Chains A and B, each alone.
Chain A
Amino acid sequence: MADLRCDIAGVKSPNPFWLASAPPTDKEYNVVRAFKAGWGGVVWKTLGEDPPIVNVTSRYGAMHYNGTRLAGFNNIELITDRPLEVNLREIKQVKRDWPDRAVVVSLMVPCEEENWRNILAHVEDTGADGVELNFGCPHGMSERGMGSAVGQVPEYIEMVTRWCKQYTRMPVFVKLTPNVTNILAPARAAQAGGADAVSLINTINSIASVDLDAMAPTPTVHGKGAHGGYCGPAVKPIALCMVAEIARDPQCNGIPISGIGGISTWRDAAEFIALGAGSVQVCTAAMHKGFKIVDDMIDGLGNWMDGKGYADLDAFRSAAVSNYVNWGELDINHEIVASIDQDACIKCGLCHIACEDTSHQAIRAARTNGDRRYEVIDAECVGCNLCMHVCPVEGCITMVEVDNGKPYMTWGEDPRNPANMKAAE
């Protein structure tokens, strides 16, 4: 089977599947169970200074969609609520017992040089493989000037990263918040500060839902709710985009990326790796189904790589990055039309009504002797893919390429572009 060994910023693990800094990595007990299940590494639940923080109860909100539990997940928990010394002792023990696994320690302390220098010394003593600076947590800690309050100010990121690089020999991962308008600013700041890698995304500001009886956001704490951090399958597209932005940015200069956000399967992981991720981190999927999911992640990724002839992760890492372009570089002459496999069609009519009501009136609803038939009107189809996406039968509607004989042409080169019209005048 393919070699799944992973090396990111000098941190090695037998596979790229790490548990993200979160409840699954809060204690030795959980982490040992995770390692037994096969996880390649963990980022320990974020440590802070003593006295430990205190959490509220009622902590998680969820977005269940159409029968799917936890399509999105939301929390208002803070960092670890256990004494620093207990965590450090357990980390040391775990690293000693599991030398082949990656153990990275997540940290969050007030934005003062002294505080960072202090805690780094303690962590170094555990033998951990690296640290991850939590500049991402968007709730609670940010109100105390930490987490995303730092992550949203590139100058702070650069400054703290520099301190850490100065006071430790361990690789420094900087965990980024997605609650910014452009992810490149914080990523470039981390790079400038000397970070060995970035981890992203942390959670997105969110209100999971509103309890319409209590008239309060959920999770509701004694009649009130605070915004939380959103994660789970629903955020994956956002995370993929941010990862890709950094992967292709010349200024980020190929900084290693630990990809996070909605990863539930080996396929999700492969997508992140194809867009440039070194390792991947998982939280919600493990909290939803337990540690055993890593079994299929390892197995599935390996089988897929074997099928593709990829010997190791580097064989396909970043393979999709160069194909991630700006809209202006797309081929305006590319043409596809929808095609319905009439034998597979179950006559639900969803393709018709979607196109008829909201798009291009390109699917005809016909009835002959009472039998329904849905047919694409090729001339009206703009190739938007909507029907294919709404069709509940996998593979029933496909988008077929039309060979129109036209060359690859970008909008910039298109004579219909007003800029080109002017030039022609």
Chain B
Amino acid sequence: MAGGPQIAAGRLTGRQYEENFDDIKPPLDRRRALIEASRCYFCYDAPCIEACPTGIDIPSFIRKISTDNVRGAALDILNPNIFGGMCARVCPTEELCEEACVRNTQEEKPVHIGALQRYATDNFFETGEQPFTRAPATGKRVAAVGAGPAGLSCAHRCATLGHDVTVFDARDKAGGLNEYGIAAYKTPHNFAQTEVDFIMGIGGITIETGKKLGRDIALADLRSDYDAVFLGLGHTAVRELSIDGEVMSGVHAAVDYIAELRQAADLAALPVGRRIVVIGGGNTAIDIAVQTKRLGAEDVTLVYRRGPREMGATWHEQEIAQTNGVKIKHWAMPRRILGNGSVEAVECEYTQLDASGRLSGTGDTFSLAADQVFKAIGQMFVPDALNGSAQEVLEIANDRIVVNDDRQTSLPDVFAGGDCIAGTDLTVQAVEDGKVAAIAIDRLLRS
């Protein structure tokens, strides 16, 4: 066997990188959009609206597309969901709006709502218009921590309502996972920043990057300096495998590598292994598997301890992995990572469900040669950043900040939303949380 890990940059030609990381789903042109729009029945009490966490009036915006009222369509989307452009690209519509489409019952083919949403928002953004205006200034100040979809959604709604907002983020760029996490081919051409610029275009929002809560700023100070605080911290840690060999060169947290990929000025300079093993069954696992494959990795194997139905990744994401040549190995879990300072292989054990439905190893093992191993078994919220003075006790349960329906925490002037609270960890949910919190903050500040 050839010695040493085979990790190298520049496995592909420039053109291949370009093709592999361009739009995975090309946008609809007007003709296609009109055909697709004509498939919408304009349902009464439309199930799709209910299935959208931000409650976009989908039949309405589709009807507007069909009459070439693209501006009206875009505003139907952006009013309830300021990240309507990103959501059109990243929402797992197959388990949201499109799953609810009545056409599924009729012909197993929903209206392609996501693609139409993208058509409306893309075309609108191209006009360069800033459609939002601010209510008369209230003189109130809101601090948002985290410039991800949750934080920026809250900030935008607060700004619309007349409050001034400062957004703090530990990273160098705003956008949260839109900028650092979403698979590159879902949002190419720097769309994440274009969208942030559009959101900032309303005015009244200041972003301070490189400011970390718990290091550079404290919750206590924010609470005394601002009238209300919103926490949109996202996940702050990666779940560990807790097996031997986990700390070894070549073993990465998938999200770290994806962040690096998203920020790479030149993908050809990004080293990637020849043989990759991904551990996990969620969308992050699929994303890292597909992206390393598209970077030129030869063999990518995803190891998941249960079956396809139990995977967190939607069937659509699983299909993408398979059509990209990722091998998915179900019913197996890693036992140890083998190597001599750097990874050489992953030893896995087959798994099974016992009579009571509990998962256990069968005792049989196999080994997968690997140059790189990516851990993608989940991220979590670690409340370290909130450590402040003793009386500031934010209630935490199951590793998430506890909130009520208004996304208000146990501290009445502190709100939270997105991945750091309980619920589905999706961009669109984070946007909704930020919006709901902003409306509640507005009510609080005006009372």
Contacts and interface: CB of A to CB of B under 8 A. Distances in A.
Given A347-B47, A347-B102, A372-B47, A392 B35 contact: no
Interface in A187-206: none
Given A348-B44, A349-B45, A350-B44, A67 B105 contact: no
B34 interface: yes
Contact of A350 (B38, B43, B105, B106): B43
Interface in B47-66: 47, 66
A349 B47 CA distance: 10
Contacts of A372: 45, 47
Contacts of A353: 44-45
A348 B41 contact: yes
B42 interface: yes
Contacts of A67: 34-35, 38-39
Contact of B46 (A349, A352, A392): A349
A346 B105 contact: yes
Nearest to A372: B45
B43 A349 contact: yes
Interface in B274-304: none
Contacts of B39: 67
B105 A347 contact: yes
A347 B47 CA distance: 8
Contacts of A347: 43, 47, 102, 105
Contacts of A352: 44-45
A347 B49 CA distance: 13
A393 B103 CA distance: 10
A268 B369 CA distance: 69
Interface string B18-46: 00000000000000001100110111111
A148 B413 CA distance: 79
| Chain B interface bracket (under 10, 10 to 19, 20 to 34, 35 or more) | 10 to 19
A365 interface: yes
Interface string A346-370: 1111101100000000000100000
Interface string A220-234: 000000000000000
Interface string A95-108: 00000000000000
A66 B66 contact: yes
Nearest to A356: B44
Contacts of B35: 67
A288 B134 CA distance: 52
Interface in B234-251: none
A392 B106 contact: yes
B106 A346 contact: yes
A353 B46 CA distance: 11
B401 to A, nearest CB: 28
Contacts of B44: 348-350, 352-353, 365
A346 B103 contact: yes
A204 B94 CA distance: 47
Tell me whether chain A's interface is mostly helix, strand or loop, or mixed.
Answer: loop
B178 to A, nearest CB: 31
Contacts of A346: 102-103, 105-106
A351 to B, nearest CB: 9
Interface residues of A, number: 13
A348 B34 contact: no
A194 to B, nearest CB: 50
Nearest to B100: A347
B45 A365 contact: yes
B52 to A, nearest CB: 15
A350 B42 contact: yes
Interface in A31-71: 66-67
Interface in B93-130: 102-103, 105-106
A317 to B, nearest CB: 38
A355 B47 CA distance: 19
Contacts of A365: 44-45
A352 B46 CA distance: 12
Nearest to B105: A346
A347 B103 CA distance: 10
A349 B41 CA distance: 10
B45 to A, nearest CB: 5
Contacts of B47: 347, 372
Contacts of B46: 348-349
B105 A392 contact: no
Nearest to A68: B38
Interface in A296-353: 346-350, 352-353
A349 B35 CA distance: 22
A349 B105 CA distance: 14
A365 B105 CA distance: 18
Contacts of A393: 106
Contacts of A350: 41-44
A348 B58 CA distance: 13
A393 B41 CA distance: 11
Contacts of B42: 350
A346 B107 CA distance: 10
B38 A392 contact: no
A12 to B, nearest CB: 44
A392 B34 contact: no
A70 to B, nearest CB: 15
A350 B46 CA distance: 10
Nearest to B102: A346
Nearest to B42: A350
B304 to A, nearest CB: 31
Nearest to A67: B38
A392 B40 CA distance: 10
A412 B376 CA distance: 81
A346 B105 CA distance: 6
Most chain B beta carbons < 10 A, residue from A346, A350, A365: A346
A308 B106 CA distance: 31
Most chain B beta carbons < 10 A, residue from A67, A352, A353, A365: A67
A4 to B, nearest CB: 35
Interface string A16-41: 00000000000000000000000000
Interface of A: 66-67, 346-350, 352-353, 365, 372, 392-393
24 contacts: A67-B35, A67-B38, A67-B39, A346-B102, A346-B106, A347-B43, A347-B47, A347-B102, A347-B105, A348-B41, A348-B43, A348-B44, A348-B46, A348-B102, A349-B43, A350-B41, A350-B42, A350-B43, A350-B44, A352-B44, A352-B45, A353-B45, A365-B45, A372-B45
Given A350-B43, A352-B45, 13 more contacts: A66-B38, A346-B105, A347-B102, A348-B41, A348-B43, A348-B44, A348-B46, A352-B44, A365-B44, A372-B45, A372-B47, A392-B41, A392-B106
The 3 closest A-B pairs by CB, nearest first: A67-B38, A349-B44, A353-B44
